[in-house]
Amino acid sequence: MQNINTLGFVRVAAAIPAVKVGDCKHNAEHIVAQAKTASNQNASLIVFPELSITGYTCADLFGQPFLLQSAADGVRDVVKASDKIDSIVIVGAPIAFNNSVYNCAIVIYGGKIKGIVPKTYLPNYNEFYEARWFASGEELKGRVDTIDFYSETVPFGPDLLFRFGETCFGIEICEDLWVPIPPSSHQALGGANLLVNISATDEMVGKHDYLRSLISQQSARTMSAYVYSSCGFGESTTDLVFAGNAMIAENGTFLAESERFNLDEQIVFADIDIEKLMTLRRRTTTFRNDANAPKFRTIDIDSAVVLDEIRREFDSMPFIPNDAINRDERCREIFNIQVNGLAQRFIASRSQTAIIGISGGLDSTLALLVAARTMDKLGLSRKQVVGITMPGFGTTGRTYNNAINLMKALGISIKEISIKDACIQHFKDIGLADCDRSVTYENSQARERTQILMDVANQLNGIVVGTGDLSELALGWATYNGDHMSMYGVNCSIPKTLVRYLVSWVAADGNDPDAKPYLLDIVDTPISPELLPADENGNIAQKTEDLVGPYELHDFLLYNFVRFGFAPRKLYYMAVMAFAGKYDAPTVKKWLTVFLRRFFNQQFKRSALPDGPKVGSISLSPRGDWRMPSDATVRMWLDEAEQL
């Protein structure tokens, strides 16, 4: 494998220490112990809860000078210990300054306090009366930049950001997240890609789900990672219970969570992909210069924790939801987008029929299902869908019978037009030898089929519904001006792995029970263009994945290459991890090279795509989502891939 420290990941940790309310020495000792543990696990940053030095539930004890001094001593103990800890440590403590006390997050590294961030929004309702004990850091904006802490001048204020390497983090404290415009929103606009919240959130029925939604949405809205640490067992339960919440989310997805109501100390870790977050932001105008955004002071921290491995799972099927409930909802939504897209095009073009070439394969099956349901939605007869099966030299009995039986089960109009005689005549016209099985032999058949579809559409005042999918477009696995062309391509942004799930989903939805057995058999049929003759047993001889590689691997590469712009070295590393036990490293390298070469060399086909509906975050439409010169060179990408 390769140097993973060049791949853009950073390990962070959220901790829930054992706390004793008012015992600053005890609390500092446990914070130091957990910080050492996190440092030994190569975490660059470890986050502790709000007021973790004193305990959050000290109440009026925060007015005691003795507690405030003990808190300062506890902070100093952590600072001293940090000289031998590689991690950046963030703790919570009350800080007395001039005539007020502030609820603060203290950033510690290498035996120094790098900065202190006071809480902005102070709750003053129900059991929370923070405004009784603390002042808001907002009051100090423009008036105070530093404070003296144990003879050290320390940056102080809510306008601080901290940077190490490519990671820039900002800090907010508990209630700050719950307000209409959290400070972290401004921090993100100011450049923070990692947001930290030291918190003390009590438990109430339903509150935890709402908290999770806040964290998920804030990390997604700001295209950032969000590290949340809230106090747990040991806090006073006079009126409230604190269950301990340590959570780490990245762009809306939770990567790690602690166990709630656990009586023990906990640390959760996650490896954040900073490179991915920055790629997303750079493509989004939201994060460009905002004249109204607050100004921040950025403090550089010379931290260089070295990772020896990436502790993170990579989804091998990024286009497919992991759980059955979300998968069902996703399939329904995608299918409805396809249906509505075709319905609008059908009406706008004043068409009488929808013409589809039916091969008995996955893609044409999905397009046929979309067309049939479109007629249902428009209140039209399914007979206005004309399915044309066009047997050729490679057509097998299995696909032919599935095509015929499926069309009958769906109740559409059926035509059968063999392409053999027309192709034989064409081969004679162009002087192609009888034994020739070159690309000319194959593409002639694809273009003959497209000619038939287009001409029948003219005859019947119809539109040709395209069947090609996103994976084929990415690899250029389509005949230019053959199956590459249509009048509306309903599958154009659906990858092959998802096509399979969608067909299975329709088979299970119960609306067309007679079609179910044929749909399930089509799902199980090897993917093939069937342009070469069948084998001696009449079975499919030309299997697409034997030629261009496994679609599940190509879809993984496609998603991460287009969505995040990852370099070959990162794609390779992620794919090896995602498909461990299925594809070894040399196999991944082989098909990565194929993917890169085909993706670049086949752009000219994507530059001439017909219209079709976008259904997800990845689309290769030249009109908006993917604009790439057709003669761009792949040399640099291949050079890096070959060095893996």
- Listing DSSP states for 384-423 in one string gives GEEEEE---TT--HHHHHHHHHHHHHHT-EEEE---HHHH
pLDDT of residue 540: 59
Q: Stretch 146-164: mean pLDDT, rounded?
A: 93
Confirm whether 235 is a catalytic residue.
no
Going by CATH, does the domain composed of 324-642 fall within 3.30.365.10? no
pLDDT of residue 1: 47
Q: Is the pLDDT of residue 132 over 80?
A: yes
Among 119, 276, 570, 589, the one annotated catalytic:
119
Task: Give the whole-angstrom CA distance, residue 363 versus residue 575.
Answer: 25
**Residue 576 · residue 585 · CB < 8 Å:** yes
Among 50, 235, 265, 472, the one annotated catalytic:
50
Domain-by-domain residue ranges, the chain?
Answer: 12-287, 324-642
pLDDT of residue 443: 92
Q: Stretch 578-583: mean pLDDT, rounded?
A: 96
Task: Give the whole-angstrom CA distance, residue 31 versus residue 89.
Answer: 9
Q: pLDDT of 17-49, one tens digit each?
A: 999 999 999 999 999 999 999 999 999 999 999
Q: pLDDT of 50-59, one tens digit each?
A: 999 999 999 8
C-alpha R_g of the chain:
30
Encoded tokens for 28: 């500092």
Q: Is the pLDDT of residue 216 over 60?
A: yes
Strand order in the sheet with 353-357: 413-416, 385-389, 353-357, 462-466, 488-489
Q: What percent of the chain has pLDDT over 90?
A: 82
Hey, what CATH class is 12-287 in? alpha beta
Q: Is the pLDDT of residue 244 over 70?
A: yes
Q: What is the pTM of this model?
A: 0.91
Among 58, 168, 174, 423, the one annotated catalytic:
174
Task: Give the whole-angstrom CA distance, residue 573 versus residue 590.
Answer: 13
Confirm whether 492 is a catalytic residue.
no
Confidence of residue 239 (pLDDT cuts 50, 70, 90): confident
Q: Is the pLDDT of residue 536 over 70?
A: no
Q: Stretch 327-356: mean pLDDT, rounded?
A: 96
- Listing DSSP states for 508-571 in one string gives HSSS-GGGHHHHHHHHHSPP----S---TTS-----HHHHH--HHHHHHHHHHHHHH---HHHH
Mean pLDDT of all residues belonging to the chain: 93
pLDDT of residue 228: 98
Confirm whether 50 is a catalytic residue.
yes
Q: Stretch 397-426: mean pLDDT, rounded?
A: 96
Q: Is the pLDDT of residue 541 over 90?
A: no
